[in-house]
Structure 1
Amino acid sequence: MKTLIRLITVACWSLAMSAQAVGPDDANGLWMTAESDAVIRFAPCADLPAALCGTIVWDKDAGTPADTCGVRIAQLGRYDKDAWRDGWVYDPRDGKKYKGVVRAQADELRIRAFVGVEILGQTERLKRVASLPAAPACKS
């Protein structure tokens, strides 16, 4: 009986883990910042199709001097161990590039920016959105 219970437990645990498995395409799509002030589109890079790029496609400040529409904020070269790695992330607030890692799971995307080693970094959490807010619109 104990063996049967163990087998059922292992089977349930395996199913739960496979249901949460993520892949490289999970980061693709539109993602709203935690402050709801920008939407970033993650997709394969036009100039490097095997890499993942993040570009600001909606900004609450569109059309003003603070407009960041069209700014590439991430470029990551490879997917490994549940994350996009080997690239950079750019913070338009301070104008600096950092090493970066991007992880997506369900409706949350985590962008980790760091100098040196990942553990010493800072994480931004974004939420998936189905479409861009109506206004203000970024110029194409």
Structure 2
Amino acid sequence: MRHDLQLPLPQQAWAKSSLTAVLFALSTGSAFADPPLEAGVWINHTGQGAVEIRPCADTGSAARRLCGYIVWLKQPNNSKGQPLTDGYNPDPSKRGRTICGLPVLGSLERVSRGWDNGWVYDPEKGAQFDAAIVAGRQNLILTGYKGVKFFSKSFTWRRAPADLQRCDQPKEARATKASVKIAQPQAPLKVPRPVPAVRPSIE
């Protein structure tokens, strides 16, 4: 059998393009041809916050995992008007972190149905649990557990509207939106009454 025969041109081109695609995927760590259903912004089960789920990184092995970050809060400030912080965190060095932007999901790996082997953090209790998620078009099921799923608890999140006002936008953008006010109608100007002219007396 001869081994010096060349592939027909179309097959050569296909083989070259396939090899290039594989090398590109390996070098960039790209894992998703299409975003998974779980990606996007979700209102949590309390209705008090929203979490954006996205790849944990742009490249490398972390790009093949999903993480989640708080991007909206119904009440972003405390009674003193200051941003809420991670005050219940067992690590004192992290208690000053603002809740907006806080990572609450991490290291979720693709499994046969949804994503698993990750973690979820509850800032209201300062506690972390094992986590799994699976989503449909409009709903996402988050399951929290400790080691085994026999003693697990599940919550239903709903997909957030596209016009949700995110709390993680730059302060300048939020300040600009906050400063835009509807002009109030002004009271009409009063025209002063004419003062009668006084003719000087001629002596």
Query: Which TM class, normalised by the smaller chain length?
Result: 0.7 to 0.9
Q: 1:121 aligned to 152, 174, 180, which one? A: 152
Measured after TM superposition, the shift of residue 100 of structure 1 is 0.7
Q: Alpha carbon RMSD of aligned pairs, Å? A: 2.2
1:80-135, CA deviations, whole angstroms, 9 ceiling, x for partnerless residues? 12121122111111111111101111211111111121131111210012325338
Give 3-state SS (helix, strand or coil) of 1:121's partner.
strand
C-alpha distance in 1 between matches for 2:40 and 2:148? 27
Residue correspondence of structure 1 range 63-74 to structure 2 within 5 A: 63-64=77-78, 65-67=83-85, 68-74=99-105
Measured after TM superposition, the shift of residue 57 of structure 1 is 0.4
C-alpha distance in 2 between matches for 1:34 and 1:97? 17
Q: Which amino acid aligns with 1:81?
A: S
Q: Tell me what 1:35 maps to.
A: 46
Structure 1 pair 34–92 and aligned structure 2 pair: CA distance change class (3 A): same
**TM-score normalised to the size of structure 1?**
0.73
C-alpha distance in 1 between matches for 2:39 and 2:127? 24
Q: 1:111 aligned to 142, 147, 151, which one? A: 142
CA contact (8 A) 1:76 1:101 kept: no
1:28-83, CA deviations, whole angstroms, 9 ceiling, x for partnerless residues? 00101122111100010127211100110011222435351111111134211212
Structure 1 pair 35–132 and aligned structure 2 pair: CA distance change class (3 A): farther
C-alpha distance in 1 between matches for 2:109 and 2:168? 29
Q: Tell me what 2:96 maps to.
A: none
C-alpha distance in 2 between matches for 1:61 and 1:84? 30
1:57 pairs with 2:71: yes
Higher relative contact order (CA 8 A, sep 6+): 1
Unmatched 5+ residue regions in structure 2?
Answer: 1-33, 86-98, 171-203
1:96 pairs with 2:127: yes
Structure 1 pair 110–117 and aligned structure 2 pair: CA distance change class (3 A): same
Unmatched 5+ residue regions in structure 1?
Answer: 1-22
Q: Which amino acid aligns with 2:129?
A: Y
**TM-score normalised to the size of structure 2?**
0.52
| Count of equivalent residues | 117
